[in-house]
């Protein structure tokens, strides 16, 4: 079974989450309505000219930037080390985790067109906007899109495609379909990778309520048609670029998904066990600065054992930050098992035991963390090599 899970799908619904979601949804619907009205005025009278199209795309770009800047409880950060200007058209590829992915792309530049799935294209609320903005439904076929996209790329537009073809429930990188790479080959166009992290945590697939969090968008380096390090034809490029994309995204996750990143998520999860337990876990994290001193370290050992982990929260933190390690925690089997029973998307690389470990073979090659009570009724963390 895959150890990678998305615990943000199990966060309890709170008044704050509902209010933030209602505010964001209201703002979004008003923006959609304004875009429909503007499109009707611009394109309902006279011919759809490049000038009108450019004005409409700039409007969408501005309102979505406004939306992301003032979305309650959500911070956005864009990293553009490659100094991308979007002046030259390209086939843009991006991972897909949430409904918000399209918004994240549209705030990068007003000259982006998105290839959408049929379910999105047929949505009665936003269909008009997609049509006004010249977005393209995948059901029309890749072959039929070549002359259309050739014209737009020639005008400096980038065609954004989600090569996974579906949203990733676990936020991991799924298999890439070949369509985007076939188009790039036929059009002799650059491939522009964009990496998005956090949208699947802020608004996971299938969830209706927005979580507090941070969304990180990285604009990668263009891959030109002459660059053969990823292969000389689109099947090879599909495979090799996915390997590059997956590797780089893993590095990105390692950099972003620290102890502090998951602290609020874990505290919120313990709300399922009652306000008293949640407050104790929150105080525990605050007392030890989120345990980043010990959690945000690379370990050679395959197994990490946390002793006297009363609530299981520290073990859960280790499991999220180190998804490739096996985490064993003790003295928490009741609370942690209750949480695991309630939340089906917790990481599977954590195992709660009783107060003692009976299988001593686990201790031989494991890293052991011990909690000891002190006179001040606090906890002091020590590491036993």
Q: Are residues 41 and 64 in the same domain?
A: yes
- Whether the pLDDT of residue 131 is over 50: the answer is yes
Give the β-pairing of 191-197 and 213-219: antiparallel
The answer as to whether 1 is a domain residue is: no
pLDDT (tens digit, 9 = 90+) per residue, 258-296?
999 999 999 999 999 999 999 999 999 999 999 999 999
Domain span at residue 22 reads 12-256
Q: Are residues 142 and 275 in the same domain?
A: no
End-to-end Cα spacing for the chain: 30
- Whether the pLDDT of residue 248 is over 80: the answer is yes
**Is 99 exposed, middle or buried, given 0-12, 13-18 or 19+ CB atoms closer than 10 A?**
middle
Q: Are residues 193 and 279 in the same domain?
A: no
User: What is the domain count for the chain?
Assistant: 2
- Please tell me the distance from the alpha carbon of residue 385 to that of residue 366, in angstroms, as a whole number: 8
Q: Are residues 185 and 266 in the same domain?
A: no
| Domain CATH for 305 | 3.40.1380
Q: Are residues 341 and 232 in the same domain?
A: no
Least confident among 34-38, 116-120, 306-310: 306-310
Q: How confident is the model at residue 378 (pLDDT cuts 50, 70, 90)?
A: very low
Q: Are residues 248 and 273 in the same domain?
A: no
CB 110 within 8 A of CB 178: no
The answer as to whether 3 is a domain residue is: no
Return the exposure string of 161-171: e unless at least 16 CB atoms fall within 10 Å of the residue's CB, then b.
bbbbeebbbbb
| Domain CATH for 93 | 3.40.1130
Q: Are residues 359 and 312 in the same domain?
A: yes
The answer as to whether 247 is a domain residue is: yes
pLDDT (tens digit, 9 = 90+) per residue, 3-32?
567 999 999 999 999 999 999 999 989 999
Domain boundary among 238, 256, 274: 256
Give the mean model confidence (pLDDT) for residues 203-208: 90
Q: Which of 89-103, 124-138, 368-382 has the highest mean pLDDT?
A: 89-103
Task: Quote the tokens at residue 377.
Answer: 């009724």
Domain boundary among 207, 225, 256: 256
Q: Are residues 204 and 282 in the same domain?
A: no
Q: Are residues 243 and 280 in the same domain?
A: no
- Please tell me the distance from the alpha carbon of residue 254 to that of residue 246, in angstroms, as a whole number: 12
Q: Are residues 85 and 118 in the same domain?
A: yes
Task: Quote the tokens at residue 109.
Answer: 């530049």
Q: Are residues 220 and 355 in the same domain?
A: no
The answer as to whether 7 is a domain residue is: no
Q: Are residues 213 and 336 in the same domain?
A: no
Residue 243 has what pLDDT? 97
pLDDT (tens digit, 9 = 90+) per residue, 49-66?
999 999 999 999 999 999
Domain boundary among 206, 233, 256: 256
């Amino acid at each position: 079974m895959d150890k990678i899970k998305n615990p943000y799908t199990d966060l309890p619904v709170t008044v704050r989450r509902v209010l933030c979601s209602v505010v964001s949804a209201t703002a979004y619907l008003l923006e959609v309505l304004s875009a429909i009205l503007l499109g009707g005025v611009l394109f309902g009278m006279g011919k759809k000219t490049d000038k009108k199209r450019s004005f409409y795309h700039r409007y969408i770009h501005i309102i979505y930037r406004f939306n992301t800047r003032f979305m309650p409880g959500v911070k956005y950060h864009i990293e553009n080390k490659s100094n991308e200007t979007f002046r030259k058209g390209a086939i843009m590829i991006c991972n897909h985790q949430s409904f918000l992915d399209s918004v994240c792309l549209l705030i990068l530049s007003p000259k982006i067109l998105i290839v959408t799935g049929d379910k999105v294209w047929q949505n009665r609320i936003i269909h008009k906007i997609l049509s006004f903005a010249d977005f393209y439904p995948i059901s029309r076929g890749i072959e039929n899109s070549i002359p259309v996209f050739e014209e737009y790329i020639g005008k400096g537009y980038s065609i954004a495609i989600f090569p996974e073809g579906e949203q990733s429930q676990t936020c991991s990188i799924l298999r890439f379909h070949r369509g985007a790479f076939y188009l790039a080959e036929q059009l002799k166009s650059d491939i522009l990778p964009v990496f998005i992290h956090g949208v699947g945590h802020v608004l996971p697939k299938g969830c209706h309520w927005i979580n507090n969090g941070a969304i990180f968008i990285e604009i990668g380096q263009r891959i030109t048609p002459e660059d053969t390090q990823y292969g000389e034809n689109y099947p090879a490029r599909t495979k090799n670029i996915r390997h590059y994309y997956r590797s780089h995204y893993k590095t990105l996750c390692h950099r972003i998904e620290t102890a502090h990143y998951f602290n609020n998520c874990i505290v919120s999860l313990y709300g399922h066990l009652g306000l008293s337990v949640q407050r104790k876990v929150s105080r525990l994290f605050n007392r030890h600065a989120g345990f980043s001193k010990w959690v945000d370290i690379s370990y050679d050992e395959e197994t990490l054992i946390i002793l006297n982990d009363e609530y299981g929260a520290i073990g859960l933190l280790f499991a999220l930050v180190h998804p490739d390690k096996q985490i064993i925690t003790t003295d928490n089997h009741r609370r942690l098992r209750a949480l695991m029973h309630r939340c089906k998307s917790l990481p599977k690389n954590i195992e709660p035991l009783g107060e003692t470990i009976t299988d001593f073979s686990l201790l031989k090659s494991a890293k052991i963390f011990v909690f000891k009570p002190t006179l001040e009724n606090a906890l002091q963390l020590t590491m036993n090599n």
